[in-house]
Structure 1
């Protein structure tokens, strides 16, 4: 198990993830990050113009992927 972090950029401001999640693989972390992005997009009060992004980061601080909220997938 490795710890992965999921900071969120919303309206240009970063919301850090201090606790992270213990997950068995980078693939599970990517899936978890996508689920977080879907949950945010599903909030009726979410501002779709906010340009929100969920970032998946490993315990060494390396960025694995970015999930754009409300855009249906990972960003490059």
Structure 2
């Protein structure tokens, strides 16, 4: 199934129109966490930006959020 990873940053949404294929929702959620960790590791990242990586499935259901520099918030 295809999953999408839009990013909220400084109150604006950066859409993910391509997405990634994963065999399970859990793998997609783990990938979203990895994206959030990568963003947080950027030396120019502003921790006050309130950045969030969202994991959305192919039908548009949000399944997780990862606050950059924080913990995962599982949906549903």
TM over 0.5: yes
Shift >6 Å, 4+ stretches: none
- Unmatched 5+ residue regions in structure 1? none
User: Normalising to structure 1: TM-score of the pair?
Assistant: 0.95
Corresponding position of 2:31: 32
Q: Deviations over 1:11-32 (max 9, x none)?
A: 0000000000001000000000
CA distance in 2, matches of 1:75, 1:47: 21
SS of the residue corresponding to residue 61 of structure 1 reads: coil
**Matched residue, 1:70:** 69
Return the offset for 1:75. Answer: 2.6
TM-score by length of 2: 0.95
